[in-house]
Amino acid sequence: MKTSRIALTLACAAMVASCGGGGTSGNAIGNTPTPTPSSTPTPSPTSGQCSLESRQDWVLDQLDEWYLFPTLLDISVNKADHSTVQSYIDALVAPARAQSRDRFFTYITSIEEEEAFFNQGASAGFGVRLGYDSGARRAFVIEAFEGAPALGQNIDRGAELLEIGTSEATLQTVNSLMAVDGPFGVIDALGPDTAGTTRVIRLRDASGVERTVTLTKEEYDLDPVSDRYGFTIINDGGKQVGYINLRTFISTAEPDLIAGYQSLLSAGVTELVIDLRYNGGGLIWVAELMGDLMGRGRAGQVFDRITFRDSKSSNNSTYFFDPRPESIQPTKIAFITTRGTASASEMVINSMQPYLPDTDIALIGTNTYGKPVGQIAQDQASCDDRLRIVALRTENADGNADYYTGLASTVPNRCSAFDDISAQFGDPSENMLSVALDFLRGGAAACTPFSATTQGVGREFLQRENPNTAQRNVPGIF
């Protein structure tokens, strides 16, 4: 059964540091019936239908019908006690959150904003992903995106933000901002996520050179597979190893993934390093596409199963590998992961595990986030409201699911490594990639294991308290 491209997502709706340690929503499932959005007339957003009370009532109706954990929905909550739709949602799902079943995964968002991101990666900002060290009160660029303002001024991975202001006369140190308000001090100093917002930033490049730049936020389209390092073939002592770095599971990843796997096939590559260290998830069908591209010889075998609550079991589906001409059959895979690796990323790892010997699959870095559930979209178009509801769970061919504490409890090999932002992605000297290559050479004996209960520590994503669509799917993006 195929997955349609219009309803389901596996993404991590990150609050500050909630999706990873260092730190998401979309569309998709195959011949699964797509939940039908509520039929609505078309009054203006100021009409009664779009009043706070009416929107709260609509939300409750949708959750009561679709929520994956109906016994953990607190329908006794008084809507009059809540001044926003989201705070009302948070109260309704609080029992599930207390059991780590719904960690800010059910939320209200904008139809227009979400579709712009999932269809083309549209976002407004400087075009960087930022991480911070709360103990040292420091903030860093951990990734820079092509076609955006920051990289246009040669600001790239490894740069440290030292001071931020609206002008050189108003510069404040990151240390002082964090001393007063923690990471939110830095977030506030960077200004709103709107095109035209300008900030003066003093920074230190990875090379150690300090300079002051003026940056203006612009609209740009995020490339989910970097042209610089998205796909690389590494000559590791005469052996060809494929390196894949996927930023997020959005629809524009499709042509790049197909072209990338074709390059691996042409080179005869069967050993892979798949870098999902910052990938908070996205569209299920893109995750299934990635499975197909690693499914040579597996046609008709189960990649994933998706299940809903008992009353919605007619929506359950099974996705079978559907290999393409570009598909390969990996013999070994080292997945680079952190607490920022969530949802659709975890689905790919979990779904590939049954098809590799225990000795030939590993997590490299730290444990993953732990989100084996996904969302459907229910729309109230007249109010530009899209309700993302946790309504489904995923499992692999062996039935493995419910990995709410991360995949480290199920993946047999776990090699400790740190995110070395002094080196670029795809550089074999970068610590995580170096450890991954060691594993591919020598197996688990070649690395230092981390415990299934170990939580990632250190750098965290800089993340707004109420993230927009881009920030949910690309934690730390500004």
pLDDT mean across residues, the chain: 89
Strands (E), 308-433: 317-320, 332-337, 361-365, 373-380, 385-395, 414-416
Contact (Cβ atoms closer than 8 angstroms) between residue 396 and residue 351: yes
Of 161, 291, 142, the C-alpha closest to 213 is: 161
Domain 125-221 shares a fold with domain 231-372+393-451: no
Task: Give the pLDDT of residue 35.
Answer: 36
Instruction: Write out the two tokens for 21.
Output: 């340690």
Highest mean pLDDT among 97-101, 241-245, 456-460: 241-245
pLDDT digits 0-9 by tens, 271-299: 999 999 999 998 999 999 999 999 999 99
* Least confidently predicted of 157-166, 349-358, 444-453: 444-453
Task: Give the pLDDT of residue 8.
Answer: 59
Q: How confident is the model at residue 343 (pLDDT cuts 50, 70, 90)?
A: very high
CA distance 220 to 240: 34
Q: How confident is the model at residue 37 (pLDDT cuts 50, 70, 90)?
A: very low
**Residue 33: pLDDT over 80:** no
Q: How confident is the model at residue 120 (pLDDT cuts 50, 70, 90)?
A: confident
Of 18, 25, 29, the C-alpha closest to 312 is: 29
**DSSP character for 477?**
B
Residue 46 vs residue 201, higher pLDDT: 201
Handedness of CA 276, 278, 280, 285 (dihedral sign): negative
CATH of domain 125-221: 2.30.42.10
Of 290, 287, 297, 302, the C-alpha closest to 398 is: 302
**Residue 215: pLDDT over 70:** yes
The SS3 call for residue 200 is strand
**Residue 97: pLDDT over 70:** yes
CA distance 27 to 313: 19
Q: Report domain extents, the chain.
A: 8-120, 125-221, 231-372+393-451
CA distance 77 to 136: 41
Residue 217, phi then psi, degrees to nearest 5: -70, 140
Concatenate the DSSP letters of all residues of 345-371 into one string: HHHHHHHHGGGS-GGGEEEEES-----
**Residue 32: pLDDT over 90:** no
Superfamily of segment(s) 231-372+393-451: 2-enoyl-CoA Hydratase; Chain A, domain 1 (3.90.226.10)
CA distance 326 to 338: 29
Query: Between the CA of residue 95 and those of 27, 76, 99, what are the distances in Å?
Result: 26, 12, 7
CA distance 89 to 105: 10
pLDDT digits 0-9 by tens, 306-338: 999 999 999 999 999 999 999 999 999 999 999
CA distance 302 to 360: 20
Task: For the chain, give the percent of residues with pLDDT over 70.
Answer: 89
Task: Give the pLDDT of residue 458.
Answer: 65
Q: How confident is the model at residue 3 (pLDDT cuts 50, 70, 90)?
A: very low
Task: Give the pLDDT of residue 122.
Answer: 75
